[in-house]
Structure 1
Amino acid sequence: MISMQGLIERAARLNPQGMATRCRGREQTWESLLQRVAKLAAALRATGIEDGERVALLSLNSDRYYESVFATCWAGGCVVPLNTRWVEAENAYALNDSAPLVLLFDDSFSEQARHLQAHCPSLRAAIHMDDGATPDWATDYEETIAAQAPLAPSRRGGEAMAGIFYTGGTTGFPKGVMQSHRGLWASAIGATQQFGMQPESVYLHAAPMFHIADFAGSMGATLQGAGHIMLPSFSAEAALGAFAGDGITHTLMVPSMIKMLLAHPAASSTDISSVQRIIYGASPMPAATLERCMDLWPSVGLVQAYGQTELAPIATLLSVEDHRAGGERLRSAGRPSAVSELRIVGEDGNDCPRGESGEVVVRGPQAMLGYWNKPEQTAEALQDGWVFTGDAGFVDEHGYLFIVDRVKDMIVSGGENVYTTEVENALMTHPAVQDCAVIGIPHEEWGEAVHAIVILRPGTGAAEGDLIAHCRKQIAGYKLPKGITFREEPLPLSGAGKVLKTELRKPWWEGRGRNVN
């Protein structure tokens, strides 16, 4: 049976003395990593973790993060990666929704973890997974491992839930996407050929490890028994340094990271001779950026992966060869992965003719099990095995998918999903706000920027900075409006009474070929 724990057992058989992880001066072979995972799994079981119970992670990237993901599955549990960019209230929602028994955290989130443990009744234990002093309300990661004998791996796998990955929600609350062992494996299998990893490859975790995009790269490397090197958090300088000094062969980045790399003064002088492929995804990439990257680093192959959390996350891939062919194909999201079926459907639910836009729907073994505790939203998004992505696009005569807009009001800013309802809800709690609408507008660095259009109550006043500061208490920084337009006339409405955001977007998107950047 396919299982997450089986993947690292396979890697240890395939490449026992090969480098598995390297981070902050620590290095593990696959053989030694397997033992550490089995001991950490025993510790999790000792806290009361039973099959299907949840374990939450709140940490920057590290080798211990990687071990914790697999130890949770080894113990028969289900991992809940928490968003390191969320404020405490957002992570508290996710914890109280998923009800994990254990929280693993690092020094960067020690204070937040302390508050979360106090306000999340399900939590029985907290494990400090960093090198600083362990708080008196938590247990030390290394001491926890050292105190245990290895546990035999759980037999749980296949369609059993392996993880709950929280993403934004149009209801204003995050949705927990339930992914199975098979789903996470299948998504990686579908991308194996294009990712091109081997046991001797070295994968750089540059994107945050809680993000399903990095999870895809991580799974691809694990399938091959390749090495993992972790940057705690992204910076262009650190990534270029890893390219030059750590023998990096593969990495996955969101487009905003690649733009930062290209803008760095050392981009043209850094030795990137080891780098074979840069995989990118999570938000649209301008063709001009791709061309610049290929001009600067002609030996590096680029691969685009399009998908979403509900697809674990890969639906389509644009190959190295497609990138080098150039032209209009650079605006494409590629063709379905080896495990994906893709359709374009109209509002009537029927398939659209080739070349005509409709909603992108995808089916395959990587499709989610559903949304945790949200049966109505599951029924809407998952129909007869097809995941309705909320993206609008068309397929050309060669089978390439082109994304042209979003059916749902989602903004992708710097690779992070921002749902407009969440931001609108925060704005509407300000006493001076009468009405508002949030849209995505073009931004050269982040792809899209969050922009609010606000109508103030008569007789009141509020400046842009006042409203942004008000929202900052409720939502993560990347969700905050980057700008606000004040207006007096009512927002445009459809016949059904819905705000016509297409009309509001027009001034910013006029003259562009598509309504995503």
Structure 2
Amino acid sequence: MNITHGLRRALQVNPNGLAVVCGERRRSWREIGARVSRLAAAIRSLGAKDGDRVAMLSLNSDRYLELYLAAGWAGTVIVPLNIRWSSLENEDAMRDCRAEILFVDRAFAAVGATLAKTIPGLKLIYADDGEVPAGMADYETLIAQSEPIPDAMRQRDDLAGIFYTGGTTGRSKGVMLSHGNLMANALNALGEGLWPSSAVYLHAAPMFHLANGAAMYSVLLSGGSNVVIQGFTPDGVAAAIEKERITDVLLVPTMIQMFVDHPTLGSYDLSSLKRITYGASPISDAVLTRAIRALPNTEFTQAYGMTELSPIATLLHWKEHIGEGRAKGRHRAAGRATFGCEVKVVDAEDRIVSPGSVGEIAVRGDVVMMGYWERPEETARAVIDGWMHTGDGGYMDADGFVYVVDRVKDMIISGGENVYSAEVENALAQHPAVAQCAVIGIPSERWGEQVHAIVALKSGASAAPGELIEFCKTLIAGYKCPRSVDVSSTPLPLSGAGKILKRELRKPFWENHERRVS
């Protein structure tokens, strides 16, 4: 199986069914199939060969979904770029994977033009409505001028996509996922009852992110319908649910909190919404309670995983959020291993620990990534005997429920986005006044965790917290930058080996919390 299998199936069994809605555009599977085969031909006409990388930097759109399919149909590899990254970070990713074709929309046309000046030979495609900027080819013209080509029929072990994630050393890593990885995850989710053929799925989470991608590939397999909005806003989601009778959506807990607390939510008809799948971070008891009250006809399912797992490892179903499951505290778990996945908790010597004991969560199955793009040493450290070591500390109870309690990796999850401390520290350390710095995650009611920096300044130097935050924004994406900074008048605490003792710095913020992550 490959990522175009769902489209081929839909063309056979439901060609006139509603495939995609985006604004006023409504297209059947037959129309999507014709456009995808022509877009694939256009990609090949631009010089792309089997395995070449094709990048996209865009807000959500129906064209994004078409490109996911067309890249596979053409035999190429899709590289979804992070819309929240700085242009320097995306340039680094483009150079790393050596993508020679970049699709951009209106919001990122200027960034694309800048990248074209710094990356020799980069071909730009304008995937939006309106006037086409100078130096770019037009997406719709390419489709109109191309003759359809047959599906390249990539194999399950062929590379399908490179999804960039933060790096512990300060540089992003390209997670290589095969056609088989992505289809295994999609089938696992369908087997668990997520995103069935009757689903009308709303793409509100960013389409570059594999959390949304997991749902997309399942809906493509099941033959459900896709409704696309440019991005998340509470009113935008509510209006789409009411107008298109949405049944399913994936949101991160921060989005759920903003949605259910929105003052005009009660003015919308949300009765069609059957399921909300959430992931990227746990949900607080308070937000879950408000969400259940605000959406009495909706069931909630938590998906836990990571990009390197295509991305789902465990699921916590609705019944564990309420009634007896909630009374047992199961709503605080990340769930149990999903179909096709095995989960274990291990100690520092990679030995399985007893139930209830904290160790590192590891996962095995067909969803485990091919590896990190051109980083064999980091791949070997992460994947040991077929087991992906997640970097999350947790325990498993006697019934197989996994609870995430800490992180082995130095990572923060803020608003559903992974932030690696090293990336932020590397930026802070470039400020001329900074002698030492440490970045940690601290509790936040809105974001789950908030990026917080503790900085010791050089002798005689001065720098205000706001100045340090603004400095970081010139180097890295805004969501990675500290939201708060403590400027210390004394050196930061060090271990005997000379490492900053982050656990000591975190302790005051997490003392009264059951988990040391949110």
TM-score by length of 1: 0.98
1:433 and 2:434 are equivalent in the alignment: yes
3-state SS in 2 of match to 1:199: coil
The separation in 2 between residues aligned to 1:229 and 1:101, in whole angstroms, is 30
Who is 1:453 aligned against? 454
Q: After superposition, what is the alpha-carbon deviation per residue over 1:139-190, rounded to whole angstroms, capped at 9, x for unaligned?
A: 1111100001111000212011100000000110001000000101111111
Who is 2:127 aligned against? 129
Q: After superposition, what is the alpha-carbon deviation per residue over 1:105-131, rounded to whole angstroms, capped at 9, x for unaligned?
A: 1000000000111212352x2110000
The separation in 2 between residues aligned to 1:144 and 1:178, in whole angstroms, is 28
The separation in 2 between residues aligned to 1:501 and 1:435, in whole angstroms, is 12
1:213 to 211, 220, 226: 211
Who is 1:279 aligned against? 277
What's the offset of the Cα at 1:267?
2.4
The separation in 2 between residues aligned to 1:490 and 1:388, in whole angstroms, is 33
Who is 1:103 aligned against? 102
Please tell me the residue identity of whatever aligns with 2:67.
S
Who is 1:393 aligned against? 394
Who is 2:220 aligned against? 222
Please tell me the residue identity of whatever aligns with 1:418.
V
1:345 and 2:346 are equivalent in the alignment: yes
Who is 1:74 aligned against? 73
Instruction: Check the 8 A contact 1:452/1:483 in 2, yes or no.
Output: yes
Who is 1:51 aligned against? 50
Who is 2:414 aligned against? 413
User: Equivalent residues in 2 for 1:24-423 (5 A)?
Assistant: 24-121=23-120, 123=122, 125-325=123-323, 326-327=326-327, 328-423=329-424
The separation in 1 between residues aligned to 2:446 and 2:406, in whole angstroms, is 19
Instruction: Check the 8 A contact 1:12/1:225 in 2, yes or no.
Output: no
What's the offset of the Cα at 1:191?
1.3
Who is 2:516 aligned against? 515
What's the offset of the Cα at 1:323?
1.7
Instruction: Check the 8 A contact 1:51/1:156 in 2, yes or no.
Output: no
Please tell me the residue identity of whatever aligns with 1:334.
G
3-state SS in 2 of match to 1:4: coil
The separation in 2 between residues aligned to 1:403 and 1:132, in whole angstroms, is 47
The separation in 2 between residues aligned to 1:298 and 1:193, in whole angstroms, is 25
The separation in 2 between residues aligned to 1:239 and 1:187, in whole angstroms, is 26
Give 5+ residue unaligned stretches, structure 2.
Answer: none
Instruction: Check the 8 A contact 1:4/1:157 in 2, yes or no.
Output: no
Instruction: Check the 8 A contact 1:281/1:306 in 2, yes or no.
Output: yes
Please tell me the residue identity of whatever aligns with 2:307.
T
What's the offset of the Cα at 1:291?
1.9
Please tell me the residue identity of whatever aligns with 2:509.
W
Q: After superposition, what is the alpha-carbon deviation per residue over 1:304-333, rounded to whole angstroms, capped at 9, x for unaligned?
A: 000000001000000122222323011000
The separation in 2 between residues aligned to 1:342 and 1:196, in whole angstroms, is 20
The separation in 1 between residues aligned to 2:353 and 2:423, in whole angstroms, is 32
Please tell me the residue identity of whatever aligns with 1:288.
A
Distance 1:11 1:496, change over 3 A: farther
The separation in 1 between residues aligned to 2:100 and 2:385, in whole angstroms, is 33
Give 5+ residue unaligned stretches, structure 1.
Answer: none
1:481 and 2:479 are equivalent in the alignment: no
The separation in 2 between residues aligned to 1:391 and 1:188, in whole angstroms, is 23
Moved more, 356-365 or 296-305: 296-305
The separation in 2 between residues aligned to 1:132 and 1:456, in whole angstroms, is 50
Please tell me the residue identity of whatever aligns with 1:372.
W
Please tell me the residue identity of whatever aligns with 1:264.
H
What's the offset of the Cα at 1:496?
2.6
TM-score by length of 2: 0.98
Instruction: Check the 8 A contact 2:6/2:222 in 1, yes or no.
Output: no
The separation in 1 between residues aligned to 2:121 and 2:313, in whole angstroms, is 35
3-state SS in 2 of match to 1:268: helix
Q: After superposition, what is the alpha-carbon deviation per residue over 1:361-418, rounded to whole angstroms, capped at 9, x for unaligned?
A: 0011010000001111111001111100000000111110000000011000001110
The separation in 1 between residues aligned to 2:10 and 2:118, in whole angstroms, is 39
Who is 1:443 aligned against? 444
What's the offset of the Cα at 1:195?
4.3
Who is 1:8 aligned against? 7
3-state SS in 1 of match to 2:181: helix
The separation in 2 between residues aligned to 1:350 and 1:505, in whole angstroms, is 28
Identity, in percent, stands at 48
Please tell me the residue identity of whatever aligns with 2:6.
L
Instruction: Check the 8 A contact 1:39/1:145 in 2, yes or no.
Output: yes
What's the offset of the Cα at 1:220?
1.6
Instruction: Check the 8 A contact 1:194/1:320 in 2, yes or no.
Output: no
Instruction: Check the 8 A contact 1:195/1:279 in 2, yes or no.
Output: no
Instruction: Check the 8 A contact 1:371/1:377 in 2, yes or no.
Output: yes
The separation in 1 between residues aligned to 2:59 and 2:97, in whole angstroms, is 21
3-state SS in 1 of match to 2:92: helix
The separation in 2 between residues aligned to 1:309 and 1:262, in whole angstroms, is 27
What's the offset of the Cα at 1:221?
1.0
Please tell me the residue identity of whatever aligns with 2:203.
H
Instruction: Check the 8 A contact 1:250/1:278 in 2, yes or no.
Output: yes
The separation in 2 between residues aligned to 1:497 and 1:158, in whole angstroms, is 46
The separation in 2 between residues aligned to 1:12 and 1:472, in whole angstroms, is 46
What's the offset of the Cα at 1:8?
1.2
Instruction: Check the 8 A contact 2:192/2:339 in 1, yes or no.
Output: no
Instruction: Check the 8 A contact 1:206/1:239 in 2, yes or no.
Output: yes
Count of residue correspondences: 515
The separation in 2 between residues aligned to 1:471 and 1:122, in whole angstroms, is 30
The separation in 1 between residues aligned to 2:175 and 2:261, in whole angstroms, is 35
The separation in 1 between residues aligned to 2:69 and 2:131, in whole angstroms, is 25
The separation in 1 between residues aligned to 2:376 and 2:197, in whole angstroms, is 41
3-state SS in 1 of match to 2:196: coil
Moved more, 329-338 or 132-141: 132-141
Please tell me the residue identity of whatever aligns with 2:147.
A
The separation in 2 between residues aligned to 1:121 and 1:183, in whole angstroms, is 32
Please tell me the residue identity of whatever aligns with 1:362.
V
The separation in 2 between residues aligned to 1:288 and 1:122, in whole angstroms, is 52
